[in-house]
Amino acid sequence: MTYLFWLLVFLWGPQLVLFLFYGPMLWRYRKTLILCMISALIFSVPWDWWAISSGTWMFPAGGNLGVRIGASPLEEYLFIIFATLFMSSITLVLRNLLGSRLAV
């Protein structure tokens, strides 16, 4: 399975379902979602580059498009952005559905 296909199945598909059911609510939080994605990039990219340069992990040839930005393949940036979007969206949907029942 290529990285792009993995993103499609496990992030983009479920995110599309969330937007189909909760799009108007999520749109109200678009600035929050964008800030979450930017923050994730700021913290994750240096971590990824360090992990790649230290040999902690790698991205084998053939599993991605071969387009690199710095040390990471393009798909890794897409993963960081869309995994953050997905988890932030789930959090906002649950917060809005469950409301005060989530308060401790």
- Kindly list the domain boundaries of the chain, sorted by start residue: 22-97
Q: With a cut of 70, say whether residue 100 has pLDDT above it.
A: no
Find the mean pLDDT for residues 45-51. 95
Report the pLDDT value the prediction gives residue 26, as an integer from 0 to 100: 97
Q: Give the whole-angstrom CA distance, residue 103 versus residue 87.
A: 19
Is residue 101 very low, low, confident or very high in pLDDT (cuts 50, 70, 90)?
confident
Q: With a cut of 70, say whether residue 31 has pLDDT above it.
A: yes
Find the mean pLDDT for residues 71-98. 95
* Contact indicator for 64, 4 with CB cutoff of 8 Å: yes
Of 4, 9, 17, 6, whose CA–CA distance to 90 is shortest? 17
Q: With a cut of 80, say whether residue 71 has pLDDT above it.
A: yes
Is residue 99 very low, low, confident or very high in pLDDT (cuts 50, 70, 90)?
confident
Q: How far does Cα 85 stand from its chain's mean position?
A: 5
Beta-carbon neighbour count of residue 78 at 10 Å?
15
Q: Give the whole-angstrom CA distance, residue 5 versus residue 87.
A: 19
